[in-house]
Structure 1
């Protein structure tokens, strides 16, 4: 098995030719190449946060599992942090703090990276707000785009700047930077905004969890602001039938999603196409990392 050195860390790579996405023939080696290419824009969004992984050792059509604890054999140079779970139990999780850790995780077929809306240095504060727009049966990405644009204006009215990205699945995520907020307060605010829009447009939007209510509507999932929840990280690959990426979007692109061909554009944001996009556009979520963009929730 080949051994590579990444930032002074020796990592044994295995089964680089293993196909993880049978529909496209995409291999683990290609997954690793993407994560190395995207590391400069991905790492700032996940560093300092507890990572959970979706692992697909036999490919996305095989067994998959969600892993929070560090995998067996985790090298001692991988940064981990202990947190107290709701039941009082101590549990360690990985911090994807550097390129070597990202490559190590990718080699374990950790296809997806999920993180919470708070940093380990200050777990009692929520520094991110997230609204997950999930189209129900009969709705699509164009409907999510329309709701995203409306939510952008609603958040701006409260002095909150929003950024958008694809989920890498069917919908969109809206993200904003917060200061001086708790996870409980962020969840309450997100729920209030979602409920407001449901009341204004009940035929197109739903803020309730019941799946039976989602047909033909966009579900605004506000619950991912809970301290116990995580969201697919910016630039993570998704364990979908095709190797789609949770890709940041310009607001002009969100507008374009409402037009014919929008669904094809979003579905085409795959790991093989992202390097060219990154070279052209850079990190479209860079503003989210600027402390000056953080906003206080309205009282």
Structure 2
């Protein structure tokens, strides 16, 4: 027997939603159809966040309590209007990743069980030169959104001093992401160095609150500034992306002047559409201007061009310090 389905008109396309009543978020009863309709309701926003960017998918075909599929490659069998972009991973291998150019592609992927979308910081026309600098403000145990918000305002202050504009959003958890459009003139290594220089300056200003320590044992109860989110093949959930958590929270763009009062728990799959209908995309201006990272690269060089560790799945990178947990290095030295 054929599976039940419904059809939604999305722009110029008709998108089939199979098993529309399948429950994806059991705790609150959200169905697959509601997930697809959510993404259509914030279409202009999610399209701006994903447009022409290679993206990975976090899929849960049986709902969030089922198996997760982290999909980097799009299947060959798909509608011809669902586009792809070829990306190269740190290993040197390549993949044809999703490349969203219309809202219908988002709806199509949501029907495949995609809960959240994770775009690269490049455009498909130039996948080797990022056009976005990412500041990932990541609470560690003992800290939360309150501390992340304090660090975010230090980030804003530094951006203003550099003559740059950042666009903040909630992560869908306790963290905050700030995106800065940059000129696509530098490679991943250079953009990552700029991110390190930026994070170190924030850490210098509020060392009791923020840290760039890669090793968890050195972070303490501070906010981690994850500079490695600027490395190749490191992705963050897109603006307006639902997260695979019981209450279906949404990574929601906010304006700086409302950040002081927002509670990320107020942003979920059922509340964000009304907010979007009332306010539109509060990040609508994000693509209006791109900035130079030269001041940050100069700062990186002035500070001795000292690199920090890469994630463990990366090959050994030029100039990278030993990728050894500090306590283990001490034990080896003592032994």
Tell me whether the two structures share a fold, i.e. TM-score over 0.5: yes
Evaluate the alpha carbon distance shift between residue 8 and residue 254 of structure 1 in structure 2; reply closer, same or farther with a 3 A threshold.
closer
| Gapped regions of structure 1 (runs ≥ 5) | 258-264
Could you tell me how far 1:7 is from its partner in structure 2? 4.0
Of 277, 280, 283, the match for 1:279 = 277
Give the CA deviation at 1:55: 0.5
> Does the CA-based 8 Å contact 1:3-1:10 persist in structure 2?
no
Counterparts of 2:5 and 2:213, CA distance in 1 = 50
**Residues 109-188 of structure 1: pairs in structure 2 closer than 5 A:** 109-179=113-183, 180-188=185-193
Partner residue in 2 for 1:261: none
Whether the 8 Å contact between 1:135 and 1:143 is mirrored in structure 2 is yes
Structure 2, unaligned stretches of length 5 or more?
Answer: 299-335
Contact 2:203 2:210 in 1 (8 A): yes
Distance 1:206 1:286 in 2: 31
Aligned-residue offset at 1:78: 1.2
| Shift, 1:202, TM fit | 2.6
Matches within 5 A, 1:1-299: 1-4=4-7, 5-71=9-75, 73-179=77-183, 180-257=185-262, 265-290=263-288, 293-297=289-293, 298=295, 299=298
Displacement of 1:10 in angstroms is: 4.2
Please say which structure displays the higher CA radius of gyration. Answer: 2
Q: 1:169·1:240 contact (CA, 8 Å) conserved in 2? A: no
> CA 1:65/1:213 → structure 2, altered by over 3 Å: closer, same or farther?
farther
- Output the CA distance in 2 between the equivalents of 1:218 and 1:122: 32
CA distance in 2, matches of 1:199, 1:182: 26
Of residues 167-176 and 205-214 in structure 1, the stretch that sits farther from structure 2 once superposed is: 205-214
Q: CA deviation at 1:8?
A: 4.4
Alpha-carbon distance between aligned partners in 2 of 1:125 and 1:96, rounded to the nearest angstrom: 18
Offset from partner CA, 1:219-276 (integer Å, 9 cap, x none)? 111111112211111111111121111100111221225xxxxxxx211200111111
Cα deviation, 1:35-85, whole Å, max 9, x if unaligned, reads 011111210221111010001112112211210111363223311122343
Distance 1:52 1:218 in 2: 26
Q: 1:15, CA displacement in angstroms?
A: 1.5
- 127 and 239 in structure 1: CA distance in 2 versus 1, 3 angstrom threshold: same
Larger strand fraction of residues: 1
Q: Is the 8 A contact 2:137 2:225 kept in 1?
A: yes
Q: In the aligned structure 1, how far is the partner of 2:90 from the partner of 2:250? A: 31
Residues 28/176 of structure 1: CA separation in 2 closer, same or farther (3 Å cut): same
Is the contact between residue 149 and residue 260 of structure 2 (CA under 8 Å) also seen in structure 1?
Answer: yes
Which stretch shows the higher mean deviation, 159-168 or 177-186?
177-186
Which has the higher relative contact order, 1 or 2, with Cα contacts under 8 A spaced 6 or more apart? 1
Aligned positions, number: 290
Instruction: Measure the CA separation in 1 of the matches of 2:116 and 2:271.
Output: 17
In 2: Cα distance, 1:6 partner to 1:115 partner: 21
Q: Does the Cα contact within 8 Å between 1:6 and 1:99 map onto a contact in 2?
A: yes
TM-score, scaled relative to structure 2 = 0.82
Q: Flag the 1:6–1:279 CA change in 2: closer, same or farther, 3 A.
A: closer
**SS of 1:155 mapped into structure 2:** helix
Is the CA contact (8 Å cut-off) linking 1:50 and 1:115 kept in structure 2?
yes
